[in-house]
Structure 1
Amino acid sequence: MRKADKEGPKAMTGSITTYTEDLVEIGEHRVRKGELDRRSFLAAVAAMGLAPAALTPATAATGELVLVNFGGVAAKEYKKSFGPGCERATGLKLVVDGSGASPAKIRAMVDAGSVVWDVCDYAPQIGIQLGGKYLEEIDYSIVDKQKLLPGFALQYGCAAYVFSFIMAYNKQMVPEPPRGWADFWDLKRFPGKRAMFKTPIGQLEAALLAAGVEPDKLYPLNLDLALGKIKDLKSEIIWWETGAQSQQLLRDREVTMGNVWHSRATVMRNETRGNIDFTFNQGVLVVGGWAIPKGNPAGRANANKFIAAAQDPKAQLSIYLSLFNGPANLQTIELVPEDKRVLNPSDPANLKLQAISNPRYWGENSAAIQDRWLDAIS
């Protein structure tokens, strides 16, 4: 019996996975199934900056650039696929730290004057929280704004990819394809359990869209309304904490619909030949990318050169074709094969259907929201 079964149908248990950690798991799954060759996989995760999970925190040395992320592939293979590109751009050897960057770690390093990281995997709200005291500004004389989706060239971070929270559903369990979050909340027309991520971002926006709030009017979030909608549905929600859990809930028919990452929904759509499908309509688009800690050892210029190199359209195309996350580089979007564009969250046809997550709002309000969120779902 799974742990979730022991503790009831409303919650999954364990550590909550980040989107970037889940991308590595998806890639490894596709390699095992023979859908993706290992070389393409390694090139994709390298361009994403996904680091080996087993590494301990790295210490910068002369002639090195240290990249920190949340783990994934073996160090030797990672360096083989991405190290040469780093050296061409900066003249520095790439060192990967898989220990994970958090705001607390960045603050501690900068305050102590002992920064060992040069580039960090970046959530835009962290850039808002840490600002100029703890992060370097992105130098857009080096990093090309024209290669980024509008609005994603941020002061203290640069977009590298985008992903979406979308509504996935099992076709055999619904009378017709649901069209939006109002259908997700409609238990009469669409009976059955729902899967939702056990963090507020992407879930509160969905609740407000279900309540009829227009996508461009979401922020500031009406927390009373959003949390009220969550409470209305809570008895039918199974909370997922990892991408694999969200996928299993839908495949095992434990839920009729789920608010899940588009990358996981794409895997399910492909593997079930469309029996599990999803829509970008009213999806919530989120940006991920890079940040530079204040006083990074390799210097601000080299960190920016690394980020600029990561904008390479061919590398971003490889990421999308391998791991399904959306390119942030406009030139890459134009290179996506016609038959693959329907599943790309940053394709113009899909982009116009979605709400865009507001990093400034989340950066300024996430702590207060988290307290209310935990009260609402407990």
Structure 2
Amino acid sequence: MRTTHLMAAAVAGTVLATAACGSAPAADPAAPAGPDTTITWQSTGGDNTEYEKQAFQEPFTARTGARFENVTSLNYISQLLTMVEQGQTVWDVVHTGSYLVKQYCGTLFEPVDLSRFPADLVPEGTTTECSVPATKYAAGFAYDAAAYQGDAPTTIGDFFDTARFPGKRVVFAGSPKGIIEAALVADGVPPEALYPLDVDRALAKLGTIKSDIIFAPSFTALQQNLVNKQATMTITLSGRLGIIRDSGSDLVPVWDFTSWDFDAFVVPKGAPNAAAAKESLEFALQPEQLRTYSALSGLTPVRSDVDPSSVEYTESGKLFNPFLGGDRGDVVLQDPEYWARNYNAVAEKWTAWQVG
């Protein structure tokens, strides 16, 4: 993650310019949310930012009068490292992944009062001193039903059987999470014995079909590969599968082995509106808001007192959701402690293997 300093000069200039802009008084980090508060919310952009506006921000504004400014950066950890190191944090909320929360709690992210959050209603190992999880999603295996109308895939091993099930497989090039777990289970590792991951064994298994894998540089490209029939199978984010199906690909899920992960909203160190930000997140993690967000995004609330069947998912959203009950095979948490310690090293191996 120290590649951050490659961007330090540019980011620092942006941060300092933002801090110097105008003559408005500095925000009070301890002030509660109110009409004079503007919470700067860093998210993933696109449709997801619109979902967060509808589910979290607009209802919070209606309740408190606080306003939101939404920002998006693909290199948000890099930018945040620079902000915190220079004492010039300008964001109040950051939407991030499980392993990053584990890596940077106390370094980049503020501790929160867990008694104010549903920490007792989420799975063991998913909380930190800085967060509780919001929603969960899976690395789902799906295939194009039009390509396999007779003999169809039924197990995770079928993803690796190009003799019986010919066709290109497409995966997201940018992250090894989910695909490494799938390769190991397909190679005979019991789902309950996955961690610590044998990455070399997983890459060797993937190597048996490497010539049939398309490494998509983005989820948009992955979607296009499937809709345009350039690929007939994928292992990718479950929420994306519904979107791809609705875009014209006749995807069908395979319920054999699925690994899942979660996201979280955190308050960065030195946030100018820290108290108001924590208040907004406490509000966002309540059942009503989580149901709305999940229905829009296709994700699933983590807290145990929200029944996934109570979320008004679309038909495609239901089809690829591994948390709705019934026989959906083995559904295993991607160990957040393992990934927090090892993500960088595994990602480097994954990238080198793709180009090697």
Q: TM-score, normalised by structure 1?
A: 0.75
**Paired residues, number:** 321
Q: More displaced, 336-345 or 142-151?
A: 336-345
Q: 1:244 to 1:111 in 2, by over 3 A?
A: closer
What is the deviation of 1:151? 4.0
| In structure 1, C-alpha distance between the alignment counterparts of 2:343 and 2:231, rounded to whole Å | 28
Match of residue 167 from structure 1: 141
| In structure 1, C-alpha distance between the alignment counterparts of 2:285 and 2:68, rounded to whole Å | 17
- Find the partner of 1:178 among 129, 153, 159: 153
Match of residue 140 from structure 1: 114
| In structure 1, C-alpha distance between the alignment counterparts of 2:163 and 2:192, rounded to whole Å | 28
Match of residue 344 from structure 2: 367
- Find the partner of 1:234 among 184, 204, 210: 210
| In structure 1, C-alpha distance between the alignment counterparts of 2:191 and 2:201, rounded to whole Å | 15
Kept after mapping to 2: 8 A contact 1:205/1:221: yes
Alignment-mate amino acid for residue 119 of structure 2: K
Q: 1:150 to 1:279 in 2, by over 3 A?
A: farther
Match of residue 327 from structure 1: 301
- Find the partner of 1:72 among 20, 41, 46: 46
| In structure 1, C-alpha distance between the alignment counterparts of 2:260 and 2:51, rounded to whole Å | 31
Alignment-mate amino acid for residue 350 of structure 2: W
- Find the partner of 1:222 among 194, 198, 203: 198
Kept after mapping to 2: 8 A contact 1:195/1:258: yes
Match of residue 187 from structure 1: 162
Alignment-mate amino acid for residue 93 of structure 2: V
Match of residue 96 from structure 2: 122
1:202-351 map, 5 Å: 202-270=178-246, 275-299=250-274, 301-330=275-304, 331-336=306-311, 341-349=318-326
2:167 alignment partner, SS class: coil
Alignment-mate amino acid for residue 210 of structure 1: A
Kept after mapping to 2: 8 A contact 1:160/1:288: yes
Q: 1:337 to 1:91 in 2, by over 3 A?
A: closer
Kept after mapping to 2: 8 A contact 1:138/1:158: no
Alignment-mate amino acid for residue 116 of structure 2: I
Q: TM-score, normalised by structure 2?
A: 0.79
Match of residue 131 from structure 2: 157
| In structure 2, C-alpha distance between the alignment counterparts of 1:217 and 1:75, rounded to whole Å | 37
Alignment-mate amino acid for residue 356 of structure 1: L
- Percent identity, aligned pairs only, is 26
Q: Does residue 1:85 correspond to 2:59, yes or no?
A: yes
| In structure 1, C-alpha distance between the alignment counterparts of 2:161 and 2:341, rounded to whole Å | 32
Alignment-mate amino acid for residue 109 of structure 2: L
| In structure 2, C-alpha distance between the alignment counterparts of 1:162 and 1:180, rounded to whole Å | 23
What is the deviation of 1:61? 4.1
Alignment-mate amino acid for residue 336 of structure 1: V
What is the deviation of 1:373? 1.4
Kept after mapping to 2: 8 A contact 1:249/1:255: yes
Q: 1:80 to 1:193 in 2, by over 3 A?
A: closer
| In structure 2, C-alpha distance between the alignment counterparts of 1:130 and 1:178, rounded to whole Å | 40
Kept after mapping to 2: 8 A contact 1:162/1:345: no
| In structure 1, C-alpha distance between the alignment counterparts of 2:138 and 2:53, rounded to whole Å | 29
Deviations 1:174-233 (A, max 9, x none): 243312221100112111211111021111111111111122211111011011112221
Point out where structure 2 has 5 or more consecutive residues left out of the alignment. 1-13, 20-25, 29-36
Match of residue 5 from structure 2: none
Deviations 1:116-141 (A, max 9, x none): 11110111111222231221123211
- Find the partner of 2:335 among 355, 358, 363: 358
| In structure 1, C-alpha distance between the alignment counterparts of 2:139 and 2:55, rounded to whole Å | 29
1:195 alignment partner, SS class: strand
What is the deviation of 1:268? 3.7
Q: 1:176 to 1:156 in 2, by over 3 A?
A: farther
Kept after mapping to 1: 8 A contact 2:257/2:330: yes
Point out where structure 1 has 5 or more consecutive residues left out of the alignment. 1-55
| In structure 2, C-alpha distance between the alignment counterparts of 1:278 and 1:112, rounded to whole Å | 47
| In structure 1, C-alpha distance between the alignment counterparts of 2:328 and 2:111, rounded to whole Å | 27
Kept after mapping to 1: 8 A contact 2:56/2:283: no
Kept after mapping to 1: 8 A contact 2:48/2:297: no
Deviations 1:147-194 (A, max 9, x none): 545543333333221121111111232243312221100112111211
2:133 alignment partner, SS class: strand
Kept after mapping to 2: 8 A contact 1:167/1:278: yes
